[in-house]
Amino acid sequence: MSSRRNIILTGFSGTGKSRVAAEVARILGWELADTDADIVRREGKEIGEIFSEKGEEFFRLLEKEALIRACDAEGRVVATGGGVLMDADNRRLLFDSGLVVGLEARPETIYQRLSTEGQGRSPEERPMLAGDDPLARIRSLKAERQPFYSLAQWVVQTDDLSEGQVAAEVVRAWQMLGGRMDSSGDGDPELAAVVTHSRGSCPIRVGWGLLDRIGEGFRASGIDGPVYIITDDNVFPLYGRQAQRSLQRAEIEAHCFIIPAGEESKSWEMANAIYHWLASRRAERRHTILAVGGGVVGDLAGFVAATYLRGMPFVQAPTSMAAMVDASIGGKTAVNLPEAKNLVGAFYQPQMVLADPHTLTTLGRRELSEGWAEAIKHGFIMDADLVSVFEDHASELMGLEPELSTEVIRRSMAIKAEVVSQDERETLGKRVLLNYGHTIGHAIEATTGYGDWMHGEGVSVGMMGAAELSRRMGMIDGDVVRRQGELLRRFNLPLKAEGLDVEQIFSAMSLDKKSTGGAIRWVLLEEVGRATTSRDVPPEQVREVVEGLL
């Protein structure tokens, strides 16, 4: 089995190999190698011209040489010509150097794509479109090559997918077939996961000191500015300015809008102020919005990006624990209304998420603790081993030991990314599990005016309520409830919200976005590491549990 050092795209002309390879290279942070483009650059002629002037045999020699050059290094995404697999030596070289992914399409789709791309181009540039029946020619040539295309280790049917969606499938193949980044040094060691979604994909990168290199990351991803940084007055002097300077070192124009820190800024009025600022800067749809801060900044900036000019590219650079492991991933953007949190918003995926755990070293213990609540939640709903890591290393994690903290954050972010990839818009039920503890937690935040209680603190109390409901429903025993409580306590998180008004909590819970016909969809535990949902929780049990928490 190959060491999977590279990703090689094969397939018939018109399946999108070159553009998909460029997008995969962007996602993974790898180098792009395109054999046809290499030949054209070296010969100074289009492929069709080389065929007509010097014949196919000469071209195939050039192709073999280009292939050898493309595969002489690691961490490359290689786009190959449509006939490259016909040669046995080429096949050996490709399969020895990486994962071979075939891009497929129906002859009719290929004909349509080549016809559209070939408008205004000469027959020499698009030789397959020459002749009286180009569709028949495509069918015949594709059938001849199909046995060789079928040798690919993974195949993506591209007919009904965008180039971004095809690229996401290629990355998924790489991750599933042994190519996930590890200590071997292959690829980008900072790539934690990739969110695949309806519009393409979003790489998640985690690295100590990554924020100071954000300009390099933007350049590598093809973002050349201008960039509009949205941050708050606590984060700006520490990290907003740092991000701006990094962008400027990369010769990317960058401007900052600074909001007051706190949940109160996640409002329609603040969004409107940012709209006017963008208009005054003459922001364009191709420009990029960068959120540098915690969940409030990310939600607000994402909402603005989703709605200004009907959508601008958007990048998340979370600087709080809760934003890293939860809010920055998944494309949920929103502003609050007085009645409840996040009532006005949109699903809008970021282009990428860049998390630098070093930024957490300036957080207070309370802010750090509330962020760990979301990561602990991930363990209880999906990863029992992660719960054990928290139990065994609570003091090191609260002390932000760099290597361990980075790995746990990376692991928690990967859990969130996997869930979002499977259920982007919370329609299949999988993503709802991420709301464990949130029904009661959000109600606590809303009742206290989004100021006295931090999000993770509310979630911590909500997790205790959900665990107790799970026990009363006969799904878990009291030991699990006590185990969860003890772990949350070790991270200085509250288990109760004493003194709050019960009726106000129930009023806020009635506005829960997971409610249908007034029935709340509760996320409950079946065991440590596995959760489920239920709308059949008796109201009297809910009232008793909530009263007990207050």
Same domain, 45 and 170: yes
Supply the pLDDT for residue 517: 60
Kindly report the number of other CB atoms within 10 A of residue 237's CB atom: 11
Is 455 among the residues known to form the active site?
yes
174 and 30 co-located in one domain: yes
Q: Answer yes or no: 341 catalytic.
A: no
CB-CB neighbours of 80 under 10 Å: 26
Instruction: Count CA within 13 A, CB hemisphere, residue 225.
Output: 19
The reply to whether 137 and 218 lie within a common domain is no
Domain boundary among 154, 179, 204: 179
431 is catalytic: yes
Distance of CA 193 to the CA centre of its chain: 7
- The answer to whether residue 426 is catalytic is yes
Are 175 and 205 within one domain?
Answer: no
Residue 448 corresponds to which amino acid? T
Q: What is the pLDDT of residue 222?
A: 85
The one catalytic residue in 455, 457, 468, 471 is 455
Domain count, the chain: 3
- Check 310, 498, 503, 540 and give the catalytic one: 310
Annotated active-site residue 513? The verdict is no
The residue annotated as part of the active site, out of 190, 263, 370, 426, is 426
Does 310 participate in catalysis according to the annotation?
Answer: yes
pLDDT of residue 131: 66
- Say whether 197 is catalytic: no
The catalytic position among 266, 377, 431, 471 is 431
Give every residue of the chain whose pLDDT is below 50, as ranges: 1-3, 120, 122-124, 180-187
Whether 504 maps to a domain, the answer reads: yes
195 in the same domain as 92: no
Query: Is 54 found in the same domain as 28?
Result: yes
Of residues 6, 442, 468, 471, which has the active-site annotation? 442
How far, CA to CA in Å, does 154 sit from each of 10, 96, 175, 176? 10, 15, 12, 10
CATH number at residue 119: 3.40.50.300
* 374 noted as active-site residue: yes
Report the CATH number that the domain containing residue 358 is assigned in CATH. Answer: 3.40.50.1970
- The residue from 142, 332, 341, 358 that is catalytic is 332
Domain termination residue (choose one: 135, 150, 179): 179
CA distances from 58 to 53, 90, 125 (A): 10, 15, 17
The pLDDT assigned to 364 comes to 92
Same domain, 198 and 111: no
Which residues, in sequence order, are CB contacts of 109 under 8 Å at separation 6+? 14, 158, 159
Q: Look up 276 and say whether it is catalytic.
A: no
Question: What's the confidence (pLDDT) of residue 123?
Answer: 46
Judgement on whether residues 130 and 225 belong to the same structural domain of the protein: no
E strands, 173-313, in order: 191-197, 200-206, 227-232, 254-259, 288-293
Residues 15 and 153 in one domain: yes
Give me the domain span that covers residue 297: 191-363
Model confidence pLDDT, tens digit, residues 189-216: 788 888 888 778 899 999 999 999 999 9
